[in-house]
Amino acid sequence: MCGRFNQTASGEEIAEAFSLDATPSLTPRYNIAPTQPVPIVLLEPGGRRVLAERKWGLVPRDALGKEHGFINARAETAAAKPAFAEAFASRRCLVPATGFYEWRQLDSRRRQPWLFRLASGAPFAFAGLWEPAAPAIPGAAPTFTVLTTQPNELTRPVHDRMPVILDPGGYARWLDPALREPHELRALLRPLPAASMTAYPVSDRVNNAAFDDAGCLAPA
């Protein structure tokens, strides 16, 4: 799964990485947690890419208020699940990030957080799906989820799932509204090769979502 991540790239770096027309004003985020608003990249009807905030934890549009938001969706089955099928077909997004955290179980009580990043240090994109605000829920906000896939060799010793990190060459295809069928997109939803990534254990400071500073990136 993917339950925490960071996005510390500047607005200029994000604008360049995702071909945005405008340079956004961004605050570094070191410990992004579910339910928080997060900037994601959407494709407007005219084909322009924009950065817009969505709450992390997808709530289906027909939700009545009791449902919890889905922070992750399995890439292998999302297109067939009622909660995600419509979003998979027509509301795909890019979720900018510079790293994500996973926890390795040490024993029955202890878990060690690890930080995974690109070896280049560059920002990247998770494959995401988004939903408009559920009309039956007063004050609801638009939401999103991150797709996950099988782990690569680097993440497997820590967790049995990893977020789908898209190759930049696949960004346009993932956002393309003309592509609606799962078979047209399946090739994009593979584990990123381990050789392009790096990882190290970090302090358990990241366990507390109240901590959102550079200390979350410090090696344990």
Tokens of 53: 């905030």
Q: Which of 93, 102, 131, 216 is labelled catalytic? A: 102
* pLDDT of res. 1: 79
* pLDDT of res. 68: 73
- The full DSSP string for the chain is ---EEEE---HHHHHHHTT-SS------EEEE-TTSEEEEEEE-TTS-EEEEEEEESB--TT--S-PPPBSEEETTTGGGSTTTHHHHHH-EEEEEESEEEEEEE-SSS-EEEEEEEETT---EEEEEEEEPPPTTSTT---EEEEEEE---TTTTTT-S-EE-EE-GGGHHHHH-TT--SHHHHGGGSSPPPGGGEEEEEB-GGGGSTT--SGGGGSB-
Active site residue 2: yes
* pLDDT of res. 67: 64
* pLDDT of res. 107: 85
Residue that the structure tokens 């977020």 belong to: 163
What b/e sequence results for 84-109 when a residue is b if at least 16 CB atoms lie within 10 Å of its CB, and e otherwise? bbebbbebbbbbbbbbbbbbeeeeee
Question: 30 with 6: CB under 8 angstroms?
Answer: yes
Q: How far is CA 139 from CA 63, 65, 133, 136, in A?
A: 13, 11, 8, 9
Domain ranges of the chain: 4-217
46 alpha carbon, distance to own chain's centre? 24
* pLDDT of res. 181: 94
How many residues are recorded in the chain?
220
Question: 163 with 150: CB under 8 angstroms?
Answer: no
* pLDDT of res. 110: 87
Question: 132 with 61: CB under 8 angstroms?
Answer: yes
Active site residue 181: no
Q: Which of 2, 93, 131, 216 is labelled catalytic? A: 2
Kindly give the parts of the chain with pLDDT less than 70. 66-67
Question: 168 with 95: CB under 8 angstroms?
Answer: no
* pLDDT of res. 65: 72
* pLDDT of res. 66: 61
**Topology classification of domain 4-217:** hypothetical protein yedk fold (3.90.1680)
- 18-41 pLDDT per residue, tens: 999 999 999 999 999 999 999 999
Tokens of 191: 């584990």
* pLDDT of res. 133: 92
